[in-house]
Structure 1
Amino acid sequence: MSTTTPAPAGLRHLHSGKVRDLYETPDGRLVMVASDRISAYDFVLETPVPDKGRVLTQLSLWWFERLADLVPDHVLSTELPPGAPAEWEGRALVCEKLAMVPVECVARGYLTGSGLADYRRTGEVCGVALPPGLVDGSRLPEPVFTPATKAALGEHDENVAYAVVAEQLGAELAGRLRELTLAVYRRGEEVARERGIVLADTKLEFGLREDGTVVLGDEVLTPDSSRFWPADSWEPGRAQPSFDKQYVRDWLTSPASGWDRASDAPPPPLPAEVVERTRARYVEAYERLTGRSFT
């Protein structure tokens, strides 16, 4: 499933993001469907990765069960609504409607990506001072909460200091989000490490019920929202092999793609080999973490 499916009878299409399509049922519940679309460098790529949406959905469900004692999640049912197409099987979730918090809640246990760029420039990440001498892939003394503002499709999220989140949302809610984000990361990092995977960082989204309860939404601890590295080859100071879409990013920025990232041109289609190897990484992450065979 690579494109948005027209809304089945009885459902109203609300929104399509980089990966997920959102529909509303007549009784006000939401149906979230994970497609096989893949994004990189703020572009949704032309070429889908088969089964990616199913991996994201099934892995999120697995994690939601293991995080239930820390924070409630938004899932109400995994049964397809009446009239839903068969291709939604395994990739659709019926969810409660929440007031989504307009902040990307990021936890980092290792230094890489945009956090590394911030550190090299300022010695900090989102206003959090870090020890000198860290390199790409360094494990941090303690996991840190490094939030970002949510950007519109095609634009960059922007890392911000915790004080900005506290001013925007209020100190109480900002503190709760930081607490939950770090708790989820620590649980995920522990579980992943037991299975031979380094959870370098992760991005979470939260929403609020009418009574103010903070609820975990969207996806959780997947290869799209997290950086997963094989623990047996982790080595600070070099680029880490990964179980996420870094393989796609690396190909796009290699001479083989012929794409100039600095241009306004969209990325080229992915070769079959890149698609298959990316799919294999998503599936391996699922199978290593859950101990289940992906079928």
Structure 2
Amino acid sequence: MKYVYSGKTKDVYELEDGNYLLKFKDDVTGEDGVFDPGANSVGLSIEGAGKAGLKLSQFFFEKLKEQNIPTHFVDANIKEKEMKVVPATVFGQGLEVICRFRAVGSFLRRYGRYAKEGQHLDSFVEVTLKDDERGDPPIGRDALHMLGILTKEEYGILKNLTKVISQVIKDELAKKGIELYDIKLEFGRNENDQIILIDEISGGNMRAYKDGEYVHPLELEKLLLGPSPVTITK
């Protein structure tokens, strides 16, 4: 296989069959040794983080496959912390799509004059540009179209897929008494220009609560799939 690049939490390789291999790392984002899924740099290493993220991703991707929802997932090797995916191109230099079921995080910071913390939201979909330098600014349908990032029709597909996928994940968490507050997804186009879900679906991509208490991202894998001890090394 051919090395392509190293991301914050995964290394990417191109395989001989034309697919790609994502090797999950134990590095996680954060600052000053404190884990933060929203941070823009690697802050520490948590033993077991890569495997936990991959196990959750495999679990959710297989649930989506059962419902014929298009994704880049092919298969996974948990022992080697590897996920095989089909090639995909991102929109522009990358978009993040957030589905919000409650008012928390950046939504509350922006709209706190009108929204109350924890207020129920009706699967609100928000798109942001992946741009660390500019703080990942939100962007609307018309601007995305005018800037040539995606068409208005593609935006409609993206929005609908986000709602459907997020509801599937929300329902799976609810089976374990966990409530999904919001989730961040990424999409791309496959070789047939079909819009598909890409990247991973792990605890670091979502905010979830159980019995009114915030669930640490790395605890989600244990709650859903069984115990998975981790060791933190700064």
> Could you tell me the TM-score, scaled by structure 2's length?
0.84
The equivalent position to 2:167 in structure 1, one of 153, 161, 186, is 186
- Correspondence 1:18 to 2:8: yes
What is the rounded CA distance, in whole Å, between the counterparts of 1:151 and 1:228 in structure 2? 25
- Correspondence 1:63 to 2:60: yes
- Correspondence 1:138 to 2:130: no
Residues 202 and 77 of structure 1: is their aligned pair in 2 closer, same or farther, counting only changes over 3 Å?
same
Residue 70 of structure 1: CA displacement? Answer: 4.8
Q: Which residue does 2:199 correspond to in 1?
A: 218
**For structure 1, which segment, 158-167 or 180-189, has the greater mean C-alpha deviation from structure 2 after superposition?**
158-167
CA contact (8 A) 1:70 1:183 kept: no
| 1:38 match: secondary structure | strand
Residue 288 of structure 1: CA displacement? Answer: 1.9
Equivalent runs, 1:154-233 vs 2, <5 Å: 156-167=135-146, 168-220=149-201, 222-230=202-210, 232-233=211-212
Residues 210 and 56 of structure 1: is their aligned pair in 2 closer, same or farther, counting only changes over 3 Å?
same
| 1:212 match: secondary structure | coil
| 1:73 match: secondary structure | coil
Q: Which structure has the bigger radius of gyration?
A: 1
CA contact (8 A) 2:4 2:14 kept: yes
| 1:78 match: secondary structure | strand
The equivalent position to 2:105 in structure 1, one of 105, 108, 113, is 113
Residue 287 of structure 1: CA displacement? Answer: 2.6
What is the rounded CA distance, in whole Å, between the counterparts of 1:151 and 1:204 in structure 2? 15
Residues 93 and 229 of structure 1: is their aligned pair in 2 closer, same or farther, counting only changes over 3 Å?
same
- Structure 2, unaligned runs of 5 or more: 31-38, 230-234
What is the rounded CA distance, in whole Å, between the counterparts of 1:138 and 1:187 in structure 2? 21
The equivalent position to 1:43 in structure 2, one of 41, 51, 76, is 41
| 1:27 match: secondary structure | coil
| 1:97 match: secondary structure | coil
| 1:49 match: secondary structure | strand
What is the rounded CA distance, in whole Å, between the counterparts of 1:226 and 1:164 in structure 2? 26
CA contact (8 A) 1:31 1:95 kept: yes
CA contact (8 A) 1:74 1:96 kept: yes
What is the rounded CA distance, in whole Å, between the counterparts of 1:241 and 1:76 in structure 2? 32
Please list every run of at least 4 consecutive aligned residues from structure 1 whose deviation after the TM superposition is greater than 6 angstroms: none
Residue 190 of structure 1: CA displacement? Answer: 1.9
CA contact (8 A) 1:15 1:21 kept: yes
CA contact (8 A) 1:71 1:214 kept: no
What is the rounded CA distance, in whole Å, between the counterparts of 1:228 and 1:191 in structure 2? 12
Residues 208 and 191 of structure 1: is their aligned pair in 2 closer, same or farther, counting only changes over 3 Å?
same
CA contact (8 A) 1:58 1:90 kept: no
CA contact (8 A) 2:48 2:228 kept: no
- Correspondence 1:243 to 2:216: yes
What is the rounded CA distance, in whole Å, between the counterparts of 1:135 and 1:198 in structure 2? 18
Residue 155 of structure 1: CA displacement? Answer: 6.1
Percent identity over the alignment is 24
Residue 209 of structure 1: CA displacement? Answer: 1.6
Higher fraction of strand: 2
What is the rounded CA distance, in whole Å, between the counterparts of 2:134 and 2:45 in structure 1? 21
CA contact (8 A) 2:58 2:75 kept: no
- Structure 1, unaligned runs of 5 or more: 1-10, 80-87, 124-131, 234-239, 245-281
| 1:176 match: secondary structure | helix
CA contact (8 A) 2:20 2:85 kept: yes
What is the rounded CA distance, in whole Å, between the counterparts of 1:197 and 1:90 in structure 2? 29
What is the rounded CA distance, in whole Å, between the counterparts of 2:228 and 2:156 in structure 1? 37
| 1:186 match: secondary structure | helix
Residue 96 of structure 1: CA displacement? Answer: 1.0
Q: How large is the RMSD of aligned CA atoms in angstroms?
A: 2.0
Q: Which residue does 1:72 correspond to in 2?
A: 70
CA contact (8 A) 1:42 1:155 kept: no
